[in-house]
Structure formats: C-alpha cells, structure tokens
A and B are shown apart, each in its own frame.
Chain A
Amino acid sequence: MVAPSSGTTPNSADQLAPLVLGGGVSRRYWRDVWKGRELMYFFAWRDLLVRYKQTFLGIAWAVLRPVLTILVFSIVFGRIAGLPSDGVPYVLLVGAGMLAWQFFSTALIGASDSVVANANMVTKVYFPRLVLPVAAIVVSLVDFLVSALILTCLMLWYGIAPGLRILAAPVFLLLGIVAAAGFGFWVSALNVKYRDFRYVVPFVLQLGLYVSPVGFSSAVVPDQWRFLYSLNPLVAVIDGFRWSLLGTGAELYWPGLLLSSFFAIMVLYTGLMFFRATERSFADVI
C-alpha cells in the first residue's frame, strides 16, 4: 500500500488551503515571489558566470566602456563646450554621473529583455516571472561595483576623498534601483506582447543620456525649469551621487529629490501592477 515517506508529506498548511488556479490572481502571489528569491540569485549567478566565461574580454569590456565614455564626455562638455564643473575636476563630474547612468541603462536594458530572453523557460516551467527582471537588475549591480571601482581610482588620482556624505550614497543607489525596476517591469512586460518595443528602449536611453545631467552639472539648468527637470528620476540620482561622493553643491535640491523619488515610486508601483496583470498570459503570447 501507499506509504508516504516523511520527506513528501504535504505540510498541514498546504493540506488545509489548496492552491486555486483560475479566477484571478493567486492570493499567494507575494509569497511565491518571496520564495523565488533563491531562483533570482541563481539567474543572476548564471548570467554573470556565462558572461565572464563566454567573452575573454568580459571584464576588460566592463572597464573600458565607461572609461572611454567618461573621457569623451569630459572633452566634449568640459573642454569644447566649456561648461562649469561645480568646483571638481570635470572628469570626476562626468565619472559620478556616468556611474549612475551606466547602472540605470544596463539595468533597464537587461530587465527589458529578461522575459523574452528566457521564453523557453517561461513556457515550460512555473516560477514567479518577476524573478527575471529582478535578476537582471542584480546583474547590473555587479557591473555597478566595477564602475564604482573605476571612479574610486579616478578620485584617488585627483586626490579627492568623499566626506561623511558618502553614507547617503546607498540611498541614491536605491532610488536608481527603484527607477530602473519600475521602468524595467513596464518594458519587460510590454516586450512580451509587442516585439518591436525592444527597438524603442535603446533609442529612449540614447536620448536620456543627453537629457539627463550625465555630461554636465544640473546647475546649468535655469532655475525656473529645475523642478520640472526633476521629473526625470535620474536627475536626483546623478545629483545625489555627485553630492555624496564629490561634495558638489552645499545643499541638496530637496523639492527635486522628492519629486524624483515620488515619480520613481509611482513608476515602480504601476510597473509592478502591470507586470502582475499581464504575466499570467506571458506563456500564451510569448
């Protein structure tokens, strides 16, 4: 006769409350997402492992790309255009901006492609789909650490040490993560349904690189536009990085920071809702 071994006995909670499929979103949604965190680390680990196994220049590329961009931007905006540098070497101004921007753009691109890139798995196995874009963001956090190392070297070279303000840096990084995740959830879900959406993202990011204060200080933006300019969450992130790492500007521009944060959180919230509403049909349309 059937004798369930101890390892396979369903726990009493599962016995009492069956999983119900059909008729709306499962009540266990967030519990499942939380349970999926281990898988999320695995996906991130896989992507990093594969990247550094596949490309011989994997690490070199991660270093070379930001360094070259910082150089070009410093020459174009600092030397040729002669924009003000907020009292720090222009290379550092760009470096701090680039640190924030690079993280945001790689996180957003990674998250946008994450679901479509794993289509094979999405149609064959159940797991909380949210794990995919989140893992992509974790991967770009590792890239962020590499970029941070470069900025550290530059700061050592110029002999600039951050003060106590550096303790605030994680808060601005968090704001960057919130913004990247919010847009990432939106785009990854849209990508599943509209396959040409992927061409929109690089274009928008290219525009964003020049619209956001990466190559210049946001102090050059006229005061009457400053508040509106902060609708772009990256403005607060970049300004915050410069403020905490380089010590530019005596005071933070609080109205802008609050507006940026509010907007980023709204994007994250709506992104989550949209993702959650559409993910149940991913396997059907992907």
Chain B
Amino acid sequence: MAIAIDAADLGKRYLISHRKQPYVALRDVIAERAIAVARRLVGRVQSRAAAFEREEMFWALRRVSFSIEAGERVGIIGRNGAGKSTLLKVLSRITDPTEGRVRIWGRVTSLLEIGTGFHPELTGRENIFLNGAILGMPHGEIRRKFDEIVAFAEVERFLDTAVKHYSSGMYVRLAFAVAAHLETEILVVDEVLAVGDARFQKKCLGRMEEVGRSGRTILFVSHNMATISSLCTRALLLDQGELVYSGLVSEAVQRYYTDGTGSPGSVDYSARGLRVGDAAVVLLAAHIETNSGIAPGEVRIGDSLEIVLSLEVLSAGGPYVPNLHFTTGDGIYAFMSLDNSNRITRTGRYRVSCRVPGDFLNEGMYFVGIAVSSFQNGVNVHFYEENALTFNVVDFIENVGSRAGWAGPVRGVVRPKLEWDVDHTD
C-alpha cells in the first residue's frame, strides 16, 4: 500500500514568555534595545534576556515518528496537553515543525474547528461557498456538490437567511456538511464531533466512515474513545509530546485509560491523586473482574464479569445510588443499571460490585461510565465518570458450536442466550 504520511523525528517547540501582556509591543522592544545600548555605554554587561524577560522553551512535540498508509483511519489519543492538536496543526501546515520532517502524498484538508471563516452576516448559501473556498474546495466542485451539502445539513429553508439567525445546531450542521463533502485524499479532523445533537453526530460519524471506506486517509482526534474505536483502524497514543504507542486501537485505548501502568480495565483514582466526586461521595477506584483467564480486560462471550467500585461516603445521607452506563465501541448507548439496595447511607468505605452475566453482551468493545446519584432532594449527580472502564468481549472460533454453525458476524448491541422451545407437532 502506498504511504500517505511519513513523519520523521518531528518536534515542535514553543516559547512561553513570562510577562504580563500576551503580545510583544514594539515600544517594549525599542525600550529594551535602548536600555541595552545605554547599559553598554555605561559599561555594565548584562544579558538582554535576563534583564528584560524570562523565556522558557516548551516542546509540544518531540521525536515523533510514524508513517500512515493511504486509506488508513488513524485515531490520535492522549490526555490534554499531550500534543494532539499540535500534531494536527503541523500535519495541516498551519504551523511549521521546529525539527524533523513530514512528507505528505496527496492533498490535506484539516477540520480543526467547525465553521472556520463563517461570517455571521452572510447567508447560508454565501457561507457554503466561502467556507468551501477556505477549506480549499475549487469553486466548480462546491457548485457541483451544493445541493448535496444543503441536503446533508438540512437547512434548505434557511439558505438565504444570515447565519447569525441560525440555531447553534443548524450552524454546526451546515459547517460540518461543507467539510464532509471535500474530496481531498487526506482528512485531518479535530474533536469537531463533540458538538451538535446526538442524531447529527451519528450522521457525521456515518459520513466519516463512508469517507474512510472510499479509500481516503483520515486522522482523527477525539476524547471519546468509543468514537475512536468505532471509526479507526489504528491509533497513535501521545503522552507529553511523545509518541508512546502506535498500533491496535483497543490496545491504545486501554493504555490511555491506564496510563500504561496497572492492568487494563482498572482505574485507581486515589493512587493517581485524582479526586472524582463531590463533598458527599467520591470514587476511589474501579476495576473489572473476569474469570476468563485470558488477556486482562478481555472476557469470553459466555463468561460473566464483575464491575467493582470502591467508594467513600464522606457525608452521611443519601441513600447514594451507584449506577453504571454501558456504551458499545460504536458509541451506541447499550443500557444502564443501578444499585437498588438503598444501603449506602453511612460514612465510610464501600465495595460495590455489579455482575454482568455471560451470554448477554455481544462481542466487541464496551465502555463503562460510572456515576453515583441520590434522589432525595431532587436528582443529585455526585459524579459521572464517562467511559471510565473498558473491556473487550471476545468470541472465539471454537465457540462456533453455540452459533449453530453460523460463523459470520452477529449484529446487535447484546447477544443474549435465550430459551428456545421446539416441539415437533406433527
């Protein structure tokens, strides 16, 4: 397969200056020079930098090397400040790397922000042409796709209304629609799907998948691991500006959650010095217990698993109700479950576990969101850790017996083993 992007020893350094105003003022530069000249005349030698301001170097990216083949869909994940956005900015030519080289075969479109260049005073129609041109779409191409874009955005009736009168949903839909119809070989997308309503998000994801299937290379940054795992064929994990993992999405996602330490499918907030919760309840740690005896974080489709939470109640009251939210790797909300025991009221530590039976979930990746709520004085959510845990349900080929010989994929969010009765009635 042809290479689309090849990055070698990429580095980007920023200067952080410690001074009050954010911009360099010419009068300061002139004053600084004048002071320097005066000092030299007086005969006192002092370094210019020390005399006037302190500047610090900061590597947003360092020694990052990777190569991406044409047609790959690559997710870029990492904590805030890991260098994801800087990497996208370098790849989309917005900023120059300080060191290293990137070679790119094909045209790049970057979608770092939705609706870049939209002007509120212009109509939807005018903004489609303007935004298309900014994103590098030739005029003829925009005209050819105009109807398709309008239909996708669902704004037909408001085409000749200034976008300042649009609802935020309409605005986002229009902005994404333009970008989604670009025909470049490489598409670089930052967290833009975090906006808009759920239905449209789904539509965008569908469109991105379509784009990926049509052989285009996609680089995609998101904090939503479910989106990453459903969309991408590979993932890059960045940490403090360095590339720490490149490969399987599931592996990258698990490393992301565990910071490369501990076992996958477990998270220890108190050990990491993180506080999840409020003045009433905090989540100390959570993990997934399986008896499958295979790779950690993986469970056989027929085996049950247990989600174990470690909570601390700081203020008596409640009853506090732990609840779990399961999302599939495709971002579909599967189901939720809550503890109905009403036994968490007194202060102290609690071990709470929830058993998910075997032969219930379908194969694939699942994410578990953890929350504790109380419903005494109205609904009170003490914390909600979205996608806190992840596990992978695997269906081994020897299991084919329980599929009555069918070896193809089984669709659906769940795959419960139900009771069937068959009587020969004739």
Interface residues of A (CB under 8 A from B): 2-5, 7-8, 10, 14-15, 18-23, 38-39, 42, 45-46, 49-50, 53-54, 120-127, 190, 193-197, 200, 280-281, 283-285
A21 to B105, CA, bound (A): 11
B183 x A7 contact (CB < 8 A): yes
11 additional contacts, CB 8 Å, given A3-B215, A49-B122, A194-B25?
A: A2-B71, A14-B185, A18-B104, A19-B104, A19-B108, A20-B101, A38-B133, A42-B129, A120-B117, A124-B116, A194-B23
B110 x A2 contact (CB < 8 A): no
> Which of chain A's residues have a CB closer than 8 A to the CB of B416?
none
From A3, A20, A46, A190, residue with most partner B Cβ within 10 Å = A46
B25 x A196 contact (CB < 8 A): yes
Q: What's the nearest-Cβ distance from chain A to residue B248, in Å?
A: 19
B101 x A125 contact (CB < 8 A): no
A18 x B133 contact (CB < 8 A): no
> Which of chain A's residues have a CB closer than 8 A to the CB of B99?
22
Q: What's the nearest-Cβ distance from chain B to residue A26, in Å?
A: 8
Q: B97-133 vs A: 1/0 string, CB under 8 Å?
A: 1011111111110101100110101100010011001
> Which of chain A's residues have a CB closer than 8 A to the CB of B122?
46, 49-50, 53
B94 at interface by CB-CB < 8 Å: yes
Q: B133-146 vs A: 1/0 string, CB under 8 Å?
A: 11110110000000
Q: What's the nearest-Cβ distance from chain A to residue B231, in Å?
A: 15
Q: What's the nearest-Cβ distance from chain A to residue B31, in Å?
A: 12
Q: What's the nearest-Cβ distance from chain B to residue A63, in Å?
A: 22
A22 x B185 contact (CB < 8 A): no
> Which of chain A's residues have a CB closer than 8 A to the CB of B23?
194-195
B110 x A126 contact (CB < 8 A): yes
User: How many cross-chain pairs have Cβ atoms below 8 Å apart between A and B?
Assistant: 135
> Which of chain A's residues have a CB closer than 8 A to the CB of B213?
2
B24 x A193 contact (CB < 8 A): yes
CB-based nearest A residue for B103: A18
**Which B residues, 44 to 94, have Cβ-Cβ distances below 8 Å to chain A?**
71, 89-94
> Which of chain A's residues have a CB closer than 8 A to the CB of B424?
none
> Which of chain A's residues have a CB closer than 8 A to the CB of B185?
8, 10, 14
B214 at interface by CB-CB < 8 Å: yes
Q: What's the nearest-Cβ distance from chain A to residue B162, in Å?
A: 8
Q: What's the nearest-Cβ distance from chain B to residue A44, in Å?
A: 11
Question: Mind listing 10 A-B residue pairs with CB under 8 Å?
Answer: A2-B71, A3-B215, A7-B183, A21-B97, A22-B97, A38-B133, A50-B119, A124-B113, A126-B92, A194-B26
With A126-B110, A194-B29 as contacts: A22 and B183 at CB distance below 8 Å:
no
With A8-B214, A22-B102, A49-B122 as contacts: A196 and B27 at CB distance below 8 Å:
yes
B94 x A126 contact (CB < 8 A): yes
> Which of chain A's residues have a CB closer than 8 A to the CB of B130?
42, 45-46
